[in-house]
Structure 1
Amino acid sequence: MRWRGRQGAPLISVVVPVFDVEAYLPACLDSVLAQTHEELQVVVVDDGSTDTSGAIADAYAARDPRVEVVHTDNQGLGAARNEGLRHARGTFLAFADSDDVVPPAAYATLLRQQQRTGADLVTGSIVWWYDDPDGERQVQPPWMKRLHATRQAGIIDQMPELLGDVFAWNKLYRRDFWVSVGLSWPVGTRYEDQPTLTEAYLRARRIGVVPDVVYQWRIRSDGSSITQQRASLDDLQDRWATKRTSRQSVLDYGSSKVSKTFQDKVLPGDLHRYFVLIPDCDDEWYAVLESGVREFFGARSLVHSGLPPMHRLTGWLVEQGRRDDAALVMRFLRDLPRGEWAPRVEDEHGRRIDVPGLAAGSVPRAALALRDHER
Structure 2
Amino acid sequence: MPVSKPLVSIIVPVYNAERYLRHCVDSILGQSYRNLQILLIDDGATDASGDMCDEYAAHDSRVTVIHKHNGGIASAQNAGLDAATGDCIAFCDNDDIMHNNNVEHLLMALQKTHADMAKGRWNQIGVSELPVTIESASQAQSLGALTLIDDPLNAYQSVFCKTLRILGGAKTEARYFNEANWCRLYRRELWDGLRFKEGHYAQDIRMAGPLYARTKRVVDVNEVLYYWLQEPDSVTHSQRTPAFWHDNVTAAAENFEFTLSHGVVPYRNYFGLTASVRDEKLGLRESSRQQIHASQTNNDDYDKVRLLVARLSHRDRLKCRTLAIIRRGENKIYDQLIHAMQ
1:120 to 116, 120, 140: 116
Tell me which residue corresponds to 2:265.
Answer: 259
Tell me which residue corresponds to 2:183.
Answer: 170
Structure with the larger helix share = 2
- Evaluate the alpha carbon distance shift between residue 263 and residue 71 of structure 1 in structure 2; reply closer, same or farther with a 3 A threshold: closer
Counterpart code for 1:44: L
Q: With structure 2 as the length reference, what TM-score do the two structures score? A: 0.74
List aligned pairs for 1:26-105, cutoff 5 A. 26-105=22-101
Task: Give per-residue Cα distances to partners, 1:288-337, cap 9 Å, x unaligned.
Answer: 5565355325534797242346948xxxxxxxxxxxxxxxxxxxx89xx9
User: How far apart are residue 68 of structure 1 and its match?
Assistant: 0.6
2:194 to 167, 183, 201: 183
1:198 to 195, 209, 212: 209
Larger Rg: 1
Counterpart code for 1:227: T
Say which SS state the counterpart of residue 228 (structure 2) adopts. strand
Contact 1:170 1:214 in 2 (8 A): yes
Aligned residues: 297
Contact 2:255 2:269 in 1 (8 A): no
User: How far apart are residue 78 of structure 1 and its match?
Assistant: 0.6
User: How far apart are residue 44 of structure 1 and its match?
Assistant: 0.5
Contact 2:277 2:302 in 1 (8 A): no
Contact 1:264 1:306 in 2 (8 A): no
Contact 2:246 2:297 in 1 (8 A): yes
Tell me which residue corresponds to 2:250.
Answer: 241
User: How far apart are residue 274 of structure 1 and its match?
Assistant: 7.0
Task: Give per-residue Cα distances to partners, 1:10-59, cap 9 Å, x unaligned.
Answer: 11100111111111111110011111111110000111111110110111
Tell me which residue corresponds to 2:218.
Answer: 207
Task: Give per-residue Cα distances to partners, 1:206-265, cap 9 Å, x unaligned.
Answer: 2222222222111114x0x22123321221121112112211221221x1xx22534556
Contact 1:114 1:120 in 2 (8 A): yes
The CA distance in 2 between the partners of 1:77 and 1:20, in whole Å, is 12
- Evaluate the alpha carbon distance shift between residue 111 and residue 135 of structure 1 in structure 2; reply closer, same or farther with a 3 A threshold: closer
The CA distance in 2 between the partners of 1:127 and 1:108, in whole Å, is 19
Tell me which residue corresponds to 1:367.
Answer: none
Say which SS state the counterpart of residue 127 (structure 2) adopts. strand
List aligned pairs for 1:1-375, cutoff 5 A. 8-131=4-127, 151-156=147-152, 159-160=155-156, 161=158, 165-179=178-192, 182-221=193-232, 223=233, 225-253=234-262, 255=263, 258-263=264-269, 280-281=286-287, 283=290, 292-293=301-302, 295-296=304-305, 299=310, 300=317, 304-308=321-325, 311=328
Counterpart code for 1:35: Q
- Evaluate the alpha carbon distance shift between residue 102 and residue 124 of structure 1 in structure 2; reply closer, same or farther with a 3 A threshold: same
The CA distance in 1 between the partners of 2:50 and 2:249, in whole Å, is 33
- Evaluate the alpha carbon distance shift between residue 311 and residue 92 of structure 1 in structure 2; reply closer, same or farther with a 3 A threshold: closer
Say which SS state the counterpart of residue 211 (structure 1) adopts. strand
Say which SS state the counterpart of residue 104 (structure 1) adopts. coil
Task: Give per-residue Cα distances to partners, 1:143-170, cap 9 Å, x unaligned.
Answer: xxxxx99722312366343586110112
Provide the alpha-carbon RMSD of the alignment.
3.7
The CA distance in 1 between the partners of 2:111 and 2:42, in whole Å, is 32
Contact 2:9 2:38 in 1 (8 A): yes
User: How far apart are residue 117 of structure 1 and its match?
Assistant: 1.6
Tell me which residue corresponds to 1:342.
Answer: none
Contact 2:245 2:276 in 1 (8 A): no
Contact 1:120 1:173 in 2 (8 A): yes
Contact 1:3 1:11 in 2 (8 A): no
Contact 2:120 2:221 in 1 (8 A): yes
Structure 1 residue runs without a partner (length 5+):
139-147, 313-332, 339-375
Contact 2:253 2:269 in 1 (8 A): no
Q: With structure 1 as the length reference, what TM-score do the two structures score? A: 0.68
- Evaluate the alpha carbon distance shift between residue 275 and residue 151 of structure 1 in structure 2; reply closer, same or farther with a 3 A threshold: farther
- Evaluate the alpha carbon distance shift between residue 134 and residue 125 of structure 1 in structure 2; reply closer, same or farther with a 3 A threshold: closer
The CA distance in 1 between the partners of 2:27 and 2:131, in whole Å, is 20
Say which SS state the counterpart of residue 125 (structure 1) adopts. strand
Contact 1:131 1:220 in 2 (8 A): yes
